[in-house]
Amino acid sequence: MSEETTNETAVVTESVETEAGIVGKNAVATVETLDELVLIIRSQREMLVNSNQRNVNLFNQLQEFITEKSTGITQLDGAITAVSEFVNDDTSTDDEHVVKLTELQNQRSKSVEQIQNADTQRRNVFNSITMTEGALQILTQVLSKAGLQDNVETKEIHETKVE
């Protein structure tokens, strides 16, 4: 003898405004017409386009920062090599060359750390750009299938390149 169990789940919807994730705007509780839904899709798409453009700009700024710091490290390496020529095991720790060499090595270490932090940020921003572009493609497809693509401005997102 087998007993059959049925699990029923009741879904209750409430008309409550909630805080929406990252954006921080009040979410629309209900949509009553297709025009309202299209308006929401378009406004969210526009918000994503603008957000993605800011992320592209940030990515480019981080890339420039990393390039500048890398050039600075190359220059520091040259200075470290030049100053280390005047330092050997017998050089006292208070000698101006030893002090300068320590200062240059500390500056180099700090620059390397800044590059690593900027690179981590750059990777995170790149991932955000990639995910946002995917979301934009989905919204564009939805509008296109609904026959509303002609009214959607498509902004090209600058290609980003991870080295």
In a domain, 68, yes or no: yes
Q: What percent of the chain has pLDDT over 70?
A: 73
Query: Range of 82's domain?
Result: 34-151
Residue found by looking up tokens 């050039």 in the block: 71
Domain count, the chain: 1
In a domain, 20, yes or no: no
Model pLDDT for residues 81-96, shown as the tens digit of each residue: 999 999 998 999 999 9
Model pLDDT for residues 5-37, shown as the tens digit of each residue: 333 333 333 333 344 444 545 555 587 888 888
Residue found by looking up tokens 């990777």 in the block: 123
CA distance 59 to 57: 5
- pLDDT of 108 over the 90 cut: yes
Average pLDDT on 71-81 reads 97
pLDDT band at 63 (very low <50, low <70, confident <90, very high): very high
In a domain, 140, yes or no: yes
* pLDDT value of residue 34: 84
Locate all alpha helices (DSSP H) within 15-95, ordered by sequence.
Answer: 34-84
